[in-house]
């Protein structure tokens, strides 16, 4: 594996972690303080992460184009008959470009309509959510190519945890559009369950060992715990620094603990146990990923039912379990495709 692609994958993850911190901070800011414009610190942190992703992908593409010796065996595409772009970095670059394009639309929207624009209700926010999801898929693809060393597989586990937290934005918005007509079903819950199901089934399909779903659960605890501790404190500090009062009803509760089920690591551990059971019995994990997806969906419905979200619990459970099973099946087949990215190894590829 060329060193440029290894370093590029880690820089892509660093950029997405920066973007995710800005996105979670922006959500906390909307809830605890309110007044908002394009140039707030959370927005700038989010777009700084996008810039890191875009520059990382561009650097890998240029280095792949100008490299001497045998070309990388990572599936690539030739762009404009000149640039040799490995697929993960082409996808990441397109996602970053779309993100910055929608950032301009977001600036225009804020200039026209002002403060307190709720996420998901404007075309610019919807476009931002989808482009961020493309960047998430690029990060997972980049680490799916690696997974040769223990550190690379830990990188895949961390990428899965970051993706599980970040995917809730786009999946939740899509879910509200698709499932709003179902009677009794909380429209956002199926999408959040689908996100968790897809990420768990992807890491099961990519590694096919019990260790790495468990590692993804541990990484999720670290990611969510770190954001829960840092983001509310950063919100209070920033509000004081720019002279904005906190809202009267602000509880200080970290929104990341409610926006993503905190019980996800338990399902990751249970998934690891199921994978271990299947491997001991020489059973292919492909037959258990729909069950893992259904478990992730049921966990999501039970969590939001417990925190008081209005829903018909039986109807929501059935819907989310069925959708989760489908996403588990899809995740396995996506993982099978991504595994082919790492099958061929060139004899020598210079950095």
Distance CA 234, CA 41 (A): 10
What are the 10-residue block averages of pLDDT along the chain, 351 residues in total? 86 96 90 77 91 94 76 74 86 92 79 60 78 93 84 91 90 84 86 93 90 93 94 90 81 84 93 90 83 94 90 91 94 87 44 34
Distance CA 277, CA 275 (A): 5
Residue 349 confidence (pLDDT): 35
Residue 346 confidence (pLDDT): 41
CB 88 within 8 A of CB 141: yes
Phi, psi of 311 (to 5 degrees): -165, 160
Residue 344 confidence (pLDDT): 47
> What region does 311 belong to: left with phi over 0, alpha with psi -120 to 50, or beta?
beta
Strands 83-86 and 76-79: antiparallel
Phi, psi of 127 (to 5 degrees): -65, -40
- What are the beta bridge partners of residue 83? 79
Distance CA 233, CA 246 (A): 12
CB 51 within 8 A of CB 201: no
Q: Give the orientation angle of helix 211-241 with respect to helix 3-32, to 10 degrees.
A: 50
Distance CA 214, CA 269 (A): 5
DSSP count for the chain of H helices, then E strands? 11, 2
């Amino acid at each position: 594996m060329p060193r440029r692609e290894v370093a590029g994958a880690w820089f892509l993850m660093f950029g997405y972690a920066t973007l995710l911190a800005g996105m979670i901070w922006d959500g906390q800011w909307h809830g605890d303080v309110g007044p908002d414009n394009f140039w707030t610190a959370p927005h700038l942190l989010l777009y700084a992460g996008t810039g890191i992703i875009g520059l990382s992908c561009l650097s890998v593409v240029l280095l792949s184009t100008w490299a001497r010796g045998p070309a990388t065996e990572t599936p690539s595409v030739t762009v404009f008959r000149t640039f040799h772009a490995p697929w993960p970095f082409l996808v990441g670059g397109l996602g970053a470009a779309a993100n910055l394009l929608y950032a301009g639309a977001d600036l225009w929207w804020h200039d026209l309509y002002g403060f307190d624009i709720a996420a998901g209700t404007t075309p610019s926010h919807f476009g931002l959510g989808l482009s961020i999801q493309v960047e998430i898929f690029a990060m997972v693809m980049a680490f799916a190519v690696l997974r040769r060393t223990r550190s690379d597989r830990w990188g895949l586990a961390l990428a899965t945890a970051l993706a599980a937290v970040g995917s809730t934005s786009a999946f939740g918005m899509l879910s509200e559009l698709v499932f709003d007509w179902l009677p009794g079903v909380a429209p956002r819950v199926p999408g959040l369950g689908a996100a968790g199901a897809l990420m768990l089934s992807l890491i099961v399909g990519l590694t096919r060992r019990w260790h790495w779903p468990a590692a993804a659960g541990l990484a999720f605890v670290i990611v969510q715990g770190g954001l829960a501790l840092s983001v509310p404190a950063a919100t209070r500090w920033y509000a004081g620094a720019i002279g904005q009062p906190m809202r009267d009803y602000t509880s200080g509760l970290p929104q990341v603990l409610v926006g993503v089920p905190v019980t996800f690591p338990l399902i990751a551990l249970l998934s690891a146990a199921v994978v271990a059971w299947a491997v001991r019995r020489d059973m292919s994990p492909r037959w258990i990923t729909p069950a893992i997806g259904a478990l992730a969906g049921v966990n999501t419905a039970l969590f939001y039912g417990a925190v008081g979200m209005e829903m018909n619990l039986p109807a929501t459970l059935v819907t989310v379990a069925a959708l989760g099973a489908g996403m588990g099946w899809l995740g396995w087949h996506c993982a099978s495709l991504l595994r082919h990215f790492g099958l061929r190894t060139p004899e020598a590829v210079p950095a």
